[in-house]
Amino acid sequence: MKLGELARKHGTDKLSHGYINYYDKYFNQLDIKNLLEIGVREGWSLKMWSEYLPSSNIYGIDNFIDIAVRNVDKEKLISSLETDKIKICVGDQTDEKFLTEFKDKNLDVIIDDGSHRMHHQQLSFINLFPMLNSGGIYVIEDLHTCNNQNYWDPNYKNEKWTTLNFLNRLKTGEFDSPHLKDENQINKIVKDIDNIEIHINKIAFISKKQKTT
């Protein structure tokens, strides 16, 4: 079944947002064994990825902070989603200690479809991009939230610090985020980026360089 059909089958909004064709393009170039997605909700896209990549391990991150509002039982939801290929990890996408759990997962793809808040997106990228396998892809969805000040960093409430502007600067080799000042870490991230492509100002694909032997 094609990815678009699977998106419709499982009810993920990746279809209505217009992301599916881009995922098809990039994922066809990869041998994906391990995929991590930030943002579980009801597990729609995790189910889609699991069926689309039947030989892959799928990891989902969520803090489930709004689950009571949604009147959903967290434990029942997690148990209904987990299989031998899908694993749900409860934690915060900005918690550096929690994210180190994924250091040895050999991640080929990381997708941020989490809170869409500027500081969350940038902190997750700073912590997780170095864990991505050589030649892997880091995806940030829903960048149109950069136009909504409710999603801006409360400590840096300025258009300059939106994730979209951060990525556009990064495309030129300029790393400028208030969330990382360590020059060694910055240089490593910049050096490891092969390419950044932003589509419809809503979704970014950041490719990591292949290691040369």
**Which residues are catalytic, by number?**
116
- Beta-bridged to residue 60, according to DSSP, are 37, 88
Instruction: Indicate the pairing of strand 34-38 with strand 86-90.
Output: unpaired
Where does residue 200 rank: exposed (0-12), middle (13-18), buried (19+ CB within 10 A)? exposed
- Rounded to whole angstroms, how far apart are CA atoms 6 and 22? 15
Hey, what are 4's tokens? 């678009």
- Rounded to whole angstroms, how far apart are CA atoms 63 and 92? 5
- Rounded to whole angstroms, how far apart are CA atoms 96 and 204? 22
Where does residue 1 rank: exposed (0-12), middle (13-18), buried (19+ CB within 10 A)? exposed
